[in-house]
Amino acid sequence: MNLVGAEGKGESVWLAWFMVDVLQGMAEIADLLDQPELSRTWQRDRKALSKHVEQFAWDGEWYLRATFDDGTPIGSAANEEARIDSLPQSWAWLTGAADPSAPPRPWMRRGATSCARMRVWS
């Protein structure tokens, strides 16, 4: 994991979701400071980042953990090892920004609390 992005090209998916959350907080602060234009900017950036994460980090089963500089995925359903990582799944849910119209995501259902329920051990 310490080589993810060593050349500046790798991407962290959980960190992208975290940034989505930070942008929401920045928009709320801008609203409190009576800066609606700035708030709209942060919301626009948040929406764009969420869309990119959905487009590039969803592998059909769950969100990747990251990609190496060469684009090799970490935490993909196609990986033999480290097939799923809780961080990007958790942050997608915590931000409330994951696409609710996407295919069913068992880990987002109420009560889906274990890996056995998420059927990741297949």
Whether the per-residue pLDDT at 101 is higher than 80: the answer is: no
Q: What pLDDT was estimated at residue 100?
A: 75
DSSP string across 23-92: HHHHHHHHHHTT-HHHHHHHHHHHHHHHHHHHHHHB-SSSB-SEE-TT--EES-TT-SSS---HHHHHHH
Whether the per-residue pLDDT at 116 is higher than 70: the answer is: no
Compute the average pLDDT of residues 47-54: 95
More confident residue, 3 or 16: 16
Q: What pLDDT was estimated at residue 103?
A: 60
Handedness of CA 27, 29, 32, 33 (dihedral sign): negative
Virtual torsion, Cα 116, 79, 95, 7, nearest 10 deg: 150
Biggest CA-to-CA distance, the chain: 51
Q: Using CA atoms, how far apart are residues 85 and 64, in angstroms rounded to an integer?
A: 8
Q: What pLDDT was estimated at residue 45?
A: 98
Tokens encoding 76: 């993909």
What tens digit of pLDDT does each residue of 29-46 get? 999 999 999 999 999 999
Confidence of residue 93 (pLDDT cuts 50, 70, 90): confident
